[in-house]
Structure formats: C-alpha cells, structure tokens
Structure 1
Amino acid sequence: MDIVDTHLHLWDIGRFRYPWLDDPGTEGLRWNYLAEDWARDAAGAGIGATVHVQAELDHALDPVLETAWLAELAASSRPSTPTVCVGYADLRAPDLGEVLDRHSEFPLFRGIRQEAWFDPASRRADVPRSNLLDDPVWIGGLDELARRELTFDLLVWSTQLEQAAGIFARKPGLQVVLEHVGVPVDRSAPGLEIWRRGLRAFAAAVPASVLKISALSFVSPSWSPAEVGPIVREAVEIFGPERCVLGSNFPVDRPAIGYRELWAAYAEFTADLTDTERTALFAGTARRIYRIEPEPAGPAVEENGREGTS
C-alpha cells in the first residue's frame, strides 16, 4: 500500500537554531535528524513520499533558509527526502508576499504553517502568547495563501477549534489541513467533549478541510494503542477517511514509538475500512492536497537505510 508521511521534521542544530529545542523536556531531541537518519528509521515501512513541516527555526532568521536547505537535502538523497515541504511565514508581516515569492522559487514548496495555538502563561518557545485567531491582519494573510493556491497547516488547541471553524469557513479558496488530530490533550470527559464538538464544527463549517492525524504522543506520551486507537477511530469517523491524512511527527514522537510500529498501529486502527477508504487515508488525499507526483523509480532502500539495487 502506498503511504505518504505528511508530518516529518528534519533539523541540523549545527546549521540553524531551533529555540524550542532549548526548552525543558526536549533534551532527548537535541541531536541532528537528517534524511539519512529518517531513512534508517523508515527502512521497511513502505513510505512512498514525505511532507516536511517547518521545524520552528528561530523566527529571527529568514524562513526561506529552511526551504532552501530542504531542497539541498532532497536533491542529494534517493528517494528525495523530503518530497515536498510546508514552510514558515508570519502572515502578519508586511513582506509576506515577498517571502512567499522566495519560498515558491523551490519546486518542493507547497504551503505554510504558522502555529496558532497559544498560552499567555506558557514558557515554551513554540507557543505564542497571544491568539492569532483574534488578529485581523493574520486572518487577512490567509487570503494571500489562497490567492497563490498554497496550503495552510493549522495547529490550534482543541479549545480553539470552534473559533477557527468560523474563520476558515470564510476562506473557501484555501486548502487548510488541521494538524495533530485537533490536539485533544485534555483527556477528561469534559475535555474530550470540547474536542469532539470542535472537530465536528470544523469538519462541517470547512467542507474542503483535511484532518491530519499526527503527534499522537499528545494523546498518550507512551503511544499506548488503548489510548491512541479510540482517538484515531473517532477522528476518522467525524471527518471521514477521504478527508484524513496520516503523519508520523518524527522524530518528536520517536521517544514514544518506533517508526515502523507507528505505521503498523495506523494500519491496525483502520483495518475495518474499505480498500478505497484506506487508499485515500494512507496516501491518496495527501498526494492530492500537497500535489505530490509519483517519483521516478530509483535504487531500492535496504533494511539498514542504505541504497541498494532492485
């Protein structure tokens, strides 16, 4: 079965600064994760394509530097890793158009993610202190993405889903991908009900939207199938399998689960779907929204991640 991993991060801490990697609790991630590292993790998993999502480079840096670096990695790896990428831009910035122009010079660029979850009391470097959903300038920046037919990866807390539904319902020309299964971090009964209500509202209000099932260590830090499985199945039921895509969130989820084990779990959670539904869920929808064409055949990848012959 064709598989597209729609949420991969690569980073080079010798080349760039990633402020969130300096936060407490990220000690186990403070090492380079490059294309060859992913290839070793993914050997035997049957991945046909990857979508790199911006890894929260220091926002003081030019965000196009990351896209340019990823293009170098893709050109020097086989199969090309990543296949396509979602970059960063501040939708409030006066030079947004110019930044998008420069991102778009790279053929693997597909869209933007600007994290919109927020917490005024947070000390995490990757969590904004104000709610971007309240900012009319930020909301207006979404129109520039739609005009250019770029995707937008949306990351919000489950408590923000209903507000986000109202905003993106007014952006019918924008392909939005709701990340991390709507972030149901509150596993209490009231917390899960807020998540369900928000997810249903978003699915109904934004009919062209797609739900990305990813980062399930948010749901269960140990990636327990008993905890993760019901969330995956309920999310697929709410959005429908044709409107869902799957992502590994590697290497962030790597401390919780192995790469092949993660994809085997996805297969188990969705075993009751039809072949057509599983084809859409595992690859078809991802290839459509991120405009991923089949890559020309090349050397096979052996179990140890090295290139071999086939």
Structure 2
Amino acid sequence: MEIREDWLALVQEEIVEPERPIVDPHHHFFFNSEHGFEDYLLEHYWADTGTHNVEQTVFVECGAMFREDGPEDLKPVGQTEWVAGLAAEAEQAEAGMARVRAIVGTADLMLGSDVRRCLETQMEVSPLFKGIRYIVAWDESDTVPSMPALSSGEAYSDPKFREGFAELASLGLMFDGWHYHPQTPYLTELARDFPDTTIVLDHLGTPLNTGPYASQADEIFEAWKQGISDLAALPNTYIKLGGMLMPWNGFGWDTRERPGTSDELVALQSRYYLHAIEAFGPERAMFESNFPADKPSVSYHVVWNAFKKLVADFSESEKDRLFRGTAMEVYGLEPMD
C-alpha cells in the first residue's frame, strides 16, 4: 500500500483546537510487513501525530511480528511482545510524545476454548494487553477484498468462534471487531448473546462503495444506518469513528489529483459519523485515526481537523468523550500525569 508523502503535503491546514487532548484508540505498527504496508514505527507515528495533542494511544493488531516458530496457537503472542517493547520505548521519550498505553492483540477464536492459552500468555506478556481483534471482513463478490481464511461472512455465528469468544469475558478482556456493513447484524446477534463482553465495532462498520456496492451510496447508507442503530441498542457495544478512508472502502480518496481537505471530508462523510454518534451517544463512541491504513488517502492533521470540525457545535463534555473519554474507559487508561 503506497503512501505518497509529497502528494499528502499538497494539503496543509492550520490545526483546529491544537490543545485538545486526544487518545487515539486505533493505530498500527508495521515492520517487514507481509501485507503490503511500508514500515511504520514509533518515529513515523510521532511524525504524524505531532500536529495534534495526542497524549495516549491504543495499538490494534495488524498481523505484525508473529512468532516464527513454536506452537501455532501462540504465534500471535509475538505481536504483543513486540509492541510491548515499543510501548516501553515510548515511555522514555520526551514530554509531548504520544504514549502507547494499551494493546489489542489477536488470537484464533476458531480454536474454541483452547484459545485461552494464547489469551493468558498475552496477559502475562504485558499489562497493556486489553483484549483482541478478530477480523471477519468478507463478501461473496470477488471484487471486494475478503480475509483469505474466511469462507463466508458468518464467522460471528460459528459455534467454535463463539466457544472461543466466551473465554474473553471470564478473563476480563474486550473485543474489537472489523467487518463490512452487510455483516453488522451478525455482530449484533453476538453482542446480544454475550452481554458481559465489551464489544467495539471498528471503522464505523465499513460501509462499502466498491464492487456490487459501487454507485449505490444512498441505498448503502440506509442499510448501514439500520445496522448501526440495531447494534447501538445493546449497552455492551461501542463504535470507533474513522477508517472510512482506506482505499478498499471504494470511496476513491486515494486516487484524487489532490488529497481531500478536512472540509471536504466533513461535507461528504458527516452523515455516517453523525448517525453513529446519535445512535451510540458520545459516551459509547470514539474517534480513531486508523493510521497508517488510512494514510494513502489523507494526512493525520487533516483527518483530526475533520473530526474537530464535525463536532464543533457539541458540548465540551461530549467532545471530551469522543476524543478521549470513551477510549480511556474502554481500554482502562489512566489520565496523563
């Protein structure tokens, strides 16, 4: 996935509310990625965040730095070990640099109850480990990128998946889920059946505008909107507001002659964000960068400017929940010293 720094630099904006404290609840690190991503480490993230007051962050799994040997079920532990090391390095940085204060790892829930060993091992590796993400993004159309390990979009309903999922609550761990918008009803069923597990929907449920969904923006919005409303009715669910700029969403932000501005992002995508905030309330919603996955389309300073403009008329307490309070609650973060 190509990141064109010179292209991104074509759009420069004055930072909106530069002092507002931010917890970025969703970003990744990459090193020698097998998934087409350029290296993205602390120095790269800090270079991006430096324009906004990002105090704390949550790393979310991205298939990076798995163990190369040992038991297959424990290979994801390598990612948590690696990021725990990066987090320790971040703690030694000068004041004003974002600290990595939580890790969302991964584990193979299709192992059923046997997944517990992987979960407990990651808990032993680092107190920053808060839970896992499991990606079920899948579509029957071969024009929509799907996770290669999946054969259908119904993983949330699989008995072995649910057997593994049941281990999370008993260990005090939460769950991040990423899927495409037609799959949201399956997550709603899962959340209803496991009311004691905190579930976070990533990337607004990824409404698609590619393959068979292209050129159907209004119809897709209505279907997406209903799915979000149904999920939000369950009190153990939360939503991350972001991730709409990934190239495979199909909205074409990465193919423009010039990158989008924050005003353009607000104008073209605000209805998704505002409905999600209305459905979940600021107390169960949080803005996310999803960097560097969104970076092929927009720079960090522009996307956070868009978020700030989007909720300019909200109360201060509502803004604080959206920009840091909800993330701190979900991922168990303490206030900065």
TM-score normalized by the length of structure 1: 0.85
Residue 132 of structure 1 deviates from its aligned partner by 0.7
Asked whether 1:52 is paired with 2:72, we answer no
CA displacement 1:223-276 (0-9 Å, x = unmatched): 541212222112211211111011101111112111111111100001111111
Determine the structure 2 residue equivalent to 1:68. Answer: 81
1:179 positional shift:
0.7
**Equivalent of residue 136 in structure 1, options 145, 148, 159:** 159
Structure 1 residue 189: Cα displacement: 2.0
Tell me the amino acid that sits aligned with residue 129 of structure 1: S
Compared CA separation, residues 289 and 146, structure 1 to 2 (3 A): same
Which of 207, 212, 231 in structure 2 is aligned with 1:184? 207
Q: 1:202-237: per-residue Cα shift (whole Å, max 9, x none)?
A: 111x21211111211137432541212222112211
Match of 2:134 in 1: 114
The answer to whether 1:103 aligns with 2:134 is no
**Which of 102, 107, 120 is residue 84 of structure 1 equivalent to?**
102
Q: Would you identify which runs of 4 or more consecutive aligned residues in structure 1 move more than 6 Å?
A: none
Contact in 1 for aligned 2:201/2:240 (Cα 8 Å): yes
CA apart distance, 1:119: 2.8
Question: C-alpha displacement at 1:83, in angstroms?
Answer: 1.8
Q: TM-score, normalised by structure 2?
A: 0.79
Between 237-246 and 59-68, report the one with greater CA deviation: 59-68
Distance in structure 2 (CA, Å) of the matches to 1:211 and 1:260: 22
**AA of the residue aligned to 1:75:** A
Which residue matches 1:308? none
- Whichever structure has more helix as a proportion of its residues is 2
Number of the residue aligned with 2:14: none
Equivalent-residue separation in structure 1 for 2:237 and 2:60 (angstroms): 17
Match of 2:6 in 1: none
Pairwise CA RMSD of aligned residues?
Answer: 2.0
CA contact (8 A) 1:8 1:53 kept: yes
Equivalent residues, number: 283
Q: What's the CA shift string for 1:116-155, capped at 9, x where partnerless?
A: 1223554847453323123111012111001111110011
Per-residue deviation at 1:59? Answer: 7.4
Residue 274 in structure 1 maps to residue 281 in structure 2: no
Query: What's the secondary structure of 2:24's corresponding residue?
Result: strand
> Bigger CA drift: 260-269 or 56-65?
56-65
1:242 alignment partner in structure 2: 283
By how many angstroms is 1:11 displaced? 0.7
Percent identity over the alignment is 31
Q: Is the 8 A contact 2:107 2:134 kept in 1?
A: yes
SS at match of 2:135: coil
CA contact (8 A) 2:65 2:78 kept: no
Q: 1:114 and 1:121 mapped to 2: Cα distance?
A: 21
Q: Which runs of 5+ in 2 are unaligned?
A: 1-19, 69-74, 210-215, 254-259
The answer to which of 183-192 and 48-57 deviates more is 183-192
| Aligned-partner Cα distance in 2 for 1:214–1:43 | 19
Is the aligned partner of 1:174 residue 2:197?
A: yes
